[in-house]
A and B are shown apart, each in its own frame.
Chain A
Amino acid sequence: MQGFKHLHMATRMCGLRSIGMLLVVCALASSGCRPEPEVSFELQGLEVTPGFADKDRLKTNEQWVAIVHTNLFQTGMPANDLYNVARVFESIGDQSIAREVLLSNFFNQPDLTLTPTDEMLADPDAFIDATYLRFYTRFPTQAERTFVREFILNNPGMTPELVYMSFGLSEEYRYY
């Protein structure tokens, strides 16, 4: 009788252990399927782009021409043209002059469409952000945004073309 009692207790304990295990597995499975809670620290969302401190490699003439053409015309330059422009760059000692002349040549092309000046003046911050992204692949710092905004608003002669010219000829644009 005593032996039977022990056997019965052992069987009950085994059953309880199995149920416990089953509950644990269910709990784990159910928690794994639960969606990730959205945690908010009440900070403004920010898109992260590379900063200018990382730009330490000088673009080759071909890279600079190809990128500026794409930035302005939103289309790549044909390989043959790229080769010929690079040759012309080699033939001019002062490369800054070569870049400036080429850019001003681009701005004279009829198929180049630029942001209208009144659009730039209507929302300078949006224009500045878009220009920094287009040329520098980064957002401006607050100080940069403030300076450029004030500069654009206080210089009536500034057009998107001249702003693009400044960015295209800048030192940062020569690096990646």
Chain B
Amino acid sequence: MKKTFHASNRRAFIKKAGLAAAGISVAPYILPSGRLFAPTGMRSSEHVVMVAFAGGVRQQESVLQRYLDDSQGEPYPGNIMYNIFDGTPPENKIVFGTGTGGLNPIPSILSQTIESQGTIFREISALSAGHFGGLNSLVQGSTVTTQGLKQRPINPTIFEYLRRHGGYSATDVWFVGNGIGNSTPLLNHSAHADYGAAYAGNFFAPTVTFGSSGNQFMADAKIYHPENELTPMYKLKTFLDLQFQSLTTAGGGLGNTEDEKQNIKAFMKAMYAKVSDGTLDLPPVTDNGDLYTMGFAVEVLKWFKPAFMMVNLSAVDSCHSNFSNYLAALHRADHAVGHLWNSIQTGIPELSGQTSIICTPECGRNLQPNNILDQNEWLAFDHSDSNSLRAWTAMAGSGIPAGLSVGSEANPVGRVSDSMMTVADLLGVKPEVQAAGMIAPGTMSLLDQI
């Protein structure tokens, strides 16, 4: 039968062919690293650590160094975060240290404060007065009003931006959580269709993973021979998966390669052994969960030497019911940061001199107290008013100007979401993050605001 080729068909063919040619010409190229395009930003730091500090921090007791002066009506100012900020500690009514009543302040770890080594943004705006919203603004660079607890971030996280656009591997980006409450484990990747689990950061909540439960169920894991045992086991698993995937859409995962998985398992084995032997690289004082979390974060840095690690501290949230404990936790969060930065500079040669640190509270805390009194008859503070939207950022290290102070109480500069964009800037993916268009309006790198 003779096939007729109508003019309309010809037009359709030419149109489709044209579209296909155009598609081919603009199609992304898969680079050896797995990313689609080479990142267009300039990388100014080899490694970045970001500390989500540390569960709702009032300006008054942190960057403003007013101690009891602006909270309990007692005229005793002073700096209880002397690893991060310059300033003299309080001399009276000491309750934040160690020993009975917290009378003994923890000595400073750093010989030079983060402030003197880097740049302080003294007054920035938080995007949320809550922890989860605040943490989301730190990892996403935005907050979405429909974002709820028990829900993955709606917009991509910094982990995904780095992996998708920067070509970083799964073990190059880490999120070390303070625990598994408040949906913290959900923050290592978003539910965004173009990003998601395949670009996630690796995650541990080490106080759980390597705590008593983890030790009970995971520490006794067998080590299989990589060639004689694991290789055939994975081959058979691959066959089984291929059979199943032929009819289903199962899959997913963080995109750790098999080598990366073996490396993570070896790390876990080593951590269980270190916990058992008492040889973890912990801060000098380890009397709360944040300090243990930071000890494990340092171990992650030592083992994987990642390009980016975010660590979340949260013990200062005790301020809801106990102001004295809040002061102690704030002092310890500073101690944890001191240990982190000291370990990077003196204990991990591959990171020393090539790493930046960024510390930002996810949100502030109220101006007025609630009516809960603690053991010292001091009032506690929640977080919901405009004072809860006040925060600061301290940063130092590679690519960060030293000795700068930006903004003030009367002149706020920057926002919490800028920390994420600063990480993107330091690691060379800022243009891609901006182009993706999913950050809060006005969010920009803090380096562009100096």
Contact = CB atoms under 8 A, between A and B. Distances in A.
Interface of A: 52-53, 55-56, 81, 84-85, 87-88, 90-98, 100-102, 104-105, 107-109, 144, 147-148, 151, 155, 157-158, 162-163, 165-167, 169-172, 174-175
B236 A93 contact: no
Contacts of A147: 239
A108 B244 contact: no
A56 B247 CA distance: 10
A87 B248 contact: no
A78 B245 CA distance: 33
Given A97-B261, A169-B237, A85 B250 contact: no
A91 B222 contact: no
B222 A100 contact: no
Contacts of B397: none
Given A91-B206, A171-B244, A172-B240, 18 more contacts: A53-B247, A53-B248, A56-B248, A85-B217, A88-B217, A91-B185, A101-B265, A102-B217, A144-B243, A148-B239, A151-B232, A151-B236, A151-B239, A157-B229, A157-B232, A158-B236, A165-B237, A170-B237
Closest 6 CB pairs of A and B: A93-B203, A91-B208, A91-B205, A166-B236, A172-B244, A84-B213
A148 B242 CA distance: 13
Interface stretch (B251-259, B370-378, B383-391): B251-259
Contacts of B342: none
A132 to B, nearest CB: 10
Contacts of A144: 243
B220 interface: yes
B240 A170 contact: yes
Interface of B: 170, 175, 177, 179-180, 185, 188, 200-206, 208-209, 213-214, 216-225, 228-229, 232-237, 239-241, 243-245, 247-248, 250-251, 253-254, 256, 261, 264-265, 268
Contacts of A155: 232
A134 to B, nearest CB: 14
A108 B185 CA distance: 28
Q: Is the interface of A mostly helix, strand, loop or mixed?
A: helix
Contacts of B209: 88, 91-92
A108 B251 CA distance: 28
Contacts of B243: 52, 144, 172
Contacts of A84: 213, 216-217
A90 B232 contact: no
Contacts, number: 144
Contact of A166 (B185, B219, B225, B237): B237
B310 to A, nearest CB: 12
Contacts of B224: 104, 162
Contact of B233 (A94, A108, A162): A162
B202 to A, nearest CB: 5
Contact of B241 (A56, A104, A171): A171
B214 A91 contact: yes
A146 B402 CA distance: 68
A100 B170 CA distance: 18
B380 to A, nearest CB: 28
Given A93-B185, A108-B220, A167 B261 contact: no
Given A90-B205, A91-B180, A93-B203, A52 B236 contact: no
Contacts of A92: 203-204, 209
A169 B235 CA distance: 12
Given A52-B248, A90-B180, A108 B222 contact: yes
Nearest to A109: B220
A22 B177 CA distance: 86
Nearest to B185: A90
Contacts of B244: 52, 55, 170-172, 175
A105 B220 contact: yes
Contact of B202 (A81, A94, A101, A174): A94
15 contacts: A53-B247, A88-B214, A91-B208, A93-B202, A94-B253, A94-B256, A94-B261, A97-B264, A101-B268, A102-B217, A108-B222, A162-B229, A170-B244, A171-B248, A172-B240
